Chains A and B, each alone.
Chain A
Amino acid sequence: MPRLFANSHKMLFGLIALIIVSVLGVIIFLPLLEILQKSVYSSEGNLIYLERFSVYLSQPNAHTLIGNSLLVSLTTTLIIVPISFIFAYALMRSCIPFKPLFRYLALIPLLAPSLLPAISFVYLFGNQGFLKSWMGESSIYGPLGIILGECFYVFPHVLMIILSALSLSDARLYEAAQSMGAGSIRKFFTITLPSVKYGLISATMVCFTLVITDFGVPKVIGGDFHLLATEIYKQVIGQQNFELGATVGVLLLIPSVITFSVDALLQKKQHSSVGSKFVLYRPKPTRLFDTIMFFFCLGVVLLLLIILGVSIFASFVKFWPYNLTLVLKNYNFDVMDGGGWNSYINSLQLAIWSALFGTIIVFLTAYVVERSRLWAPLLGLIKLLALLPMAVPGLVLGLGYIFFFNSATNPLHGIYGSLTILIFCTIAHFFTTSYMTATTTIKQIDREFDDVAESMGVPFYKTFFKVTVPIALPSILEIARYYFVNAMTTVSAVVFLYSPQTTLASVAVLNMDDAGDMSAAAAMATLIVATSVGITLLFNAASYSISKTSQKWRQH
C-alpha cells in the first residue's frame, strides 16, 4: 500500500471507505456468510460439508418442490419474454402513438406488491370469483394462478432490460443493409436479433430467477401447490425449522448467482459492441405493422390495468361478489389482523429512512469507488460488496439476517425486532440497482472537475457538494424514489424480520390474506399502490422543477 494515506484528503477518503466497508460488511456480507456457514454445519456445530443438501435432495418431497418451481419459472419465462420483446419492439421500432403513456403504464406493476396480482386473480377466478365459470374444471389455485400472477409481477423487469438492449441499435447498420437491398425480415434476423442477443439472454435469466425466488404470488394463490420459495417460508415461519430453511435458501441462491455471473459477463460484451460514433435508429411509419403493434400494446396495458383495477375495486366493495355497494369498511384496518394502520405508518417510516440513508450510502459508495483513487484492491472489495445483493434473493437475505443478528454473541443483537434492522435489510436488498444508477451518473460527470478543483486548492468534499451533487441531483432523486417504492412493496426479506411492534403494510397484506380477510388485504395493497404512485408523481414533479430551474446550465 504505497502512500495510502499520503495526505489529509486521502485520509478522509480512506476513512469514508472504511466506514462503507464496515457498513456493507454488516448489512450484506456477514449475514450471507452466516447462512452459508449454517448450511454446511450440523446443529451440533460440526462441519458436515454438503450433507444437508444430499439428505434434503434425496427426499421425494424435494423433487416435487424443485419440479414445481422449475415448471412455474420456465412457463412464466416462456410467456413473458416474447410478450416483453414485442412490447419493447413496438415502443422502440414502430411509430405508434402514446408511446410514453404505454411505457409508464407498463411499469405500473413495479409500484405494487407482488401479492396484488394474486389477490386480483383470486377475485376473478377463485372460489367466489366473478368469472369462475370461465375456469370450467380447472382451478386458479395452483400453477395456473401462480403463473398468471408472476407474469404481471415480472413483466416490467423483463421489459426494461429488453428496452435498453433495443435502444443500442445503430441506424447506420440498417441503412447499410437497406442500400444492399435487404428486406425487413432479413434485417430483423441479421441486425436486430444479434444486437439484442445479450439483452434477451439477460432478460430470460432475470425473469427465471425473479419467479423462482418469489414467494408472494404462490403464497396467496398457490393452494396446495408448493414451491421452493414457499417451502422456506413454511419451514421458518410455520415450523421454526431454520436449518432446513437455510438449506433450501442456499439452493435458491444457485440460479441467482448463475444469472448474476452470466449477466456480468454479458454486460462487458454488450459495452464493447457499441462504438462512439453511434447514430440513433428512428423508425419510419408502416401502417399495417404500426396498427398491429398498437393493438398489442393496448391489449397488454389493458390487462395490466384490469388486474390492478380488480384489487382496487374489490377493496371498496361491501361483499364480493354478491354486494357491490361501495364502502370504506375494508380500510378499517385497526379491527383486523395484520397490525392495523400502524403497519402502514411503519411502512412509511421504513420507506422514508431507507430512501434517506440508502441514497446517501449508495451515492457515497459509488463516489468513493469512482473518484477516490484509493488503493485499488480496497475499491475492488467495495465494488464486490455493492454488487453482491443482486445475486441474493430477498428470502435468503432475510434468513441470513435472522442467523446473524439473532445470535446472542452479536453486539448488534439489540436491533433485532426493531425498525432499524428492517431499514438495514431494505438498504442492502436494493443496493445493487441503486449503486449502478449512481455509478453511471458519476461516470458521466467529468473527472476533470475534481482535478481542476484540486489544482485550485479546493478540497474534494467542497467540490462534491458544490458541483457533483447538483449535477447528479435528478439521479439522486431517482435512487431515493426507487428505495421508497421498494420499501413500501417488498415482502420477501422483511417477512422474517418484523416484530409485533414493527409490522409492515406489505406483510399485513400477506397476513390478512392468510387470515381469510381478502378484502382487507386488497385494501392494504391498494393503499400501498396509491402511496407508491403518489410518491413517484411527487418525485417526478420535484425532478421536473429542478430541471426547470437549472435548465440554463443543464443540457439534455
Chain B
Amino acid sequence: MFENAITISNVTKRFDNFVALNEINLTIDKGELVCFLGPSGCGKTTLLRIIAGLETCDEGEIIQNGKNITHLPPHKRDYGIVFQSYALFPNLTVAKNIGYGLKKREIEKKEAKKRVKELLALVGLSGSEDKYPSELSGGQQQRVAFARAVATNPSLLLLDEPLSALDARVREHLRQEIRELQKNLGITTIMVTHDQEEALSIADKIVVMNHGIIEQVGTPLEIYHHPKSLFVADFVGKINLLDAVYKGNGFFGVGQLHFKVDTLSQTDIVVGEKMKLLVRPEDIKPYQESYEEVNIIEGNVLKITFLGSFCRILMSIKGLLEEQLLFDVPHKMIKHFTIKEGNALQLGIFPSDICYFKDTSNA
C-alpha cells in the first residue's frame, strides 16, 4: 500500500498574469486532517479546487493513492466535498440529497435507503429524511452536506471553509464534531480555512499559505511555537515585533536593551545584522525579582484591555523609544502585581520564548 494519500508536486496555476499557485509541493498522509490556512487570496481554495479537479493546474502533477489524477475530470476522481454554501440541492429532500451519488453506483434501492439512514444517524439527524434543506438550521444543513460527502465512501474528504457561514458558538461545536467523525471514519481530510483558531484546534497538520506559496507545513504546535517565517508568526496568534541588531553570542540589541535568545538555529547571521525579534503576549510575565536566565525589562502600564478570561496589557518600556509591548495576564495576577494604568512594572521573558527573523522589510 502507499503511505501517502496525496502527493502534490510542483503545482503551478496562473490566472492571466496573476500567479495563484507557485510550484506547490506537499504530501498528505493517510487518515490525516490537514488544514490549508491563509488570508483570502493566498491560493488555498485554488489548491483545493485543483485537487478536486474543478480547476486545472498549468504545471505539476497530483498523485492520489499512487494514481496520477492531474488530468482526471471530477467525476472520475475519488473524493467527497463540502462547500461553504453546503450546496444542498434545494428541491430534493435530505434523503435524496444524501443518496444522490448512491443511485449511480447501482446499489439496490433498499441498500441505499439503509445507507442514508446510517449516515443520518452518524451525523445525529435521524428521522430528517423527508425534510427539505430550507427546513433545517445552518448547522443541520452542514451535517447533511457532510453526510452526503462521505456517502459514497470516498478515500478523501475536501472541506472548503465549511464552517464560516455559521455563528461562532455553532462553529466551535461543529468543528469538534467534524474532527470526531473524521477520526472515526479514518478518512483523509483537507479543510480550507482562514480561521487560525479552527486550524489550530482540530488539524493534524497545518499548511500555511501566502501569495501562492506554502510558508510552512507543521503540526499546530510547531506552527504556533516555531514559525518559520515572519508571515506565519504574524498570521497565527498575536505577536510583539521588535527591531533588533545581532550582537553575537546569542545576544540581540533592542534600543538600549539587550535580549538573550537561546533558540539560535540559524547560523548564517552575522554580528551587526538587522533582525526582527518576536515574542507572544502570553510568554511575557510580570516578575518581582530578577533571575539570571530571564530577560528582565521595566516599564509603565499604558492601557488594560479586558478580554474575558484574561487581560491584555499595553506597556511602554524603558530603553525603547517607540516600541510598546503587549502581554497577557489572568485576572488574579492584576491584583497581585497591582497592575494599574500609569503604574511601573517589571517583566520577564525567557530566552527560549523569543524567535528571530532576518529583517527583510527594507533590505
Contacts and interface: CB of A to CB of B under 8 A. Distances in A.
B353 to A, nearest CB: 43
B56 A452 contact: no
A99 interface: no
B75 A452 contact: no
A470 B104 CA distance: 20
A458 B104 contact: yes
B74 A10 contact: no
A550 B134 CA distance: 12
A457 B53 CA distance: 12
A192 to B, nearest CB: 35
B133 to A, nearest CB: 7
A466 B92 contact: yes
B90 A454 contact: no
Nearest to B96: A466
Contact of A455 (B74, B89, B91): B74
Nearest to B160: A448
A453 B151 CA distance: 12
A467 B133 CA distance: 13
Contacts of B342: none
A9 B72 CA distance: 11
A456 B91 contact: no
A409 to B, nearest CB: 42
Contacts of A471: 90-91
A552 B134 CA distance: 8
A277 interface: no
Contact of B71 (A6, A456, A467, A552): A6
Nearest to A467: B89
B85 A451 contact: no
B131 to A, nearest CB: 9
A119 B81 CA distance: 62
A462 B75 CA distance: 13
Given A452-B87, A456-B152, A467-B92, A6 B81 contact: no
A471 B80 CA distance: 23
Interface in A292-342: none
A554 interface: yes
A457 B85 contact: no
B135 interface: yes
A555 B81 contact: no
A456 B87 contact: no
Nearest to B133: A553
Interface string A436-465: 000000000010110111111111001000
Contacts of B151: 456
Contact of A553 (B54, B73, B85, B134): B134
A450 to B, nearest CB: 9
A458 B91 contact: no
A6 B73 contact: yes
A10 B56 CA distance: 14
A3 interface: yes
Contacts of B347: none
Contacts of A459: 75
B13 interface: no
A7 interface: yes
Contacts of A470: 91
Contacts of B91: 467, 470-471, 550, 553-554
B87 A455 contact: no
Interface in A454-497: 454-459, 462, 466-467, 470-471
Interface in B16-71: 52-54, 56, 71
A451 B77 CA distance: 12
B54 A458 contact: no
A554 B73 CA distance: 31
Contacts of B72: 7
Contacts of B158: 455
A284 to B, nearest CB: 33
Contact of B73 (A2, A454, A462, A467): A454
Interface in B152-186: 152, 154, 158
B132 interface: yes
Contacts of B79: 455
B132 A553 contact: yes
B104 to A, nearest CB: 6
Contacts of A456: 75, 80, 100-101, 104, 148, 151-152
B32 to A, nearest CB: 20
A9 B75 contact: yes
Given A6-B71, A449-B87, A451-B54, A458 B135 contact: no
Given A467-B89, A467-B91, A470-B91, A457 B152 contact: yes
Among A2, A446, A449, A454, the one with the most B-chain Cβ atoms within 10 Å of its Cβ is A454
B324 to A, nearest CB: 35
B71 A452 contact: no
A208 B135 CA distance: 49
Interface in A538-556: 550, 552-555
A10 B135 CA distance: 35
A26 B91 CA distance: 37
B332 interface: no
B105 interface: yes
A455 B73 contact: no
B73 A7 contact: yes
A241 to B, nearest CB: 51
A471 B133 CA distance: 14
B90 to A, nearest CB: 5
A449 B74 CA distance: 13
Interface string A378-396: 0000000000000000000
A555 B101 CA distance: 25
Given A456-B152, A457-B105, A449 B89 contact: yes
Contacts of B54: 451, 454
Interface in A415-454: 446, 448-449, 451-454
Interface string A1-38: 01100110110000000000000000000000000000
Contacts of B110: none
A457 to B, nearest CB: 5
A451 B134 contact: no
Interface string B126-149: 000000111100000000000011
A457 B80 CA distance: 10
A555 B141 CA distance: 15
B76 interface: yes
B134 A555 contact: yes
A24 to B, nearest CB: 27
Contacts of A550: 91
Given A455-B81, A467-B92, 4 more contacts: A448-B87, A454-B53, A457-B105, A554-B90
18 contacts: A3-B71, A7-B76, A9-B75, A448-B85, A451-B54, A451-B74, A451-B87, A454-B73, A454-B75, A455-B52, A456-B75, A457-B75, A457-B104, A458-B104, A462-B104, A471-B91, A550-B91, A552-B134
Interface of A: 2-3, 6-7, 9-10, 446, 448-449, 451-459, 462, 466-467, 470-471, 550, 552-555
Interface of B: 52-54, 56, 71-77, 79-81, 83, 85, 87, 89-92, 100-101, 104-105, 132-135, 148-149, 151-152, 154, 158
> 10 closest Cβ contacts across the A-B interface?
A456-B101, A448-B87, A454-B74, A553-B132, A7-B73, A448-B83, A470-B91, A455-B81, A454-B75, A457-B75
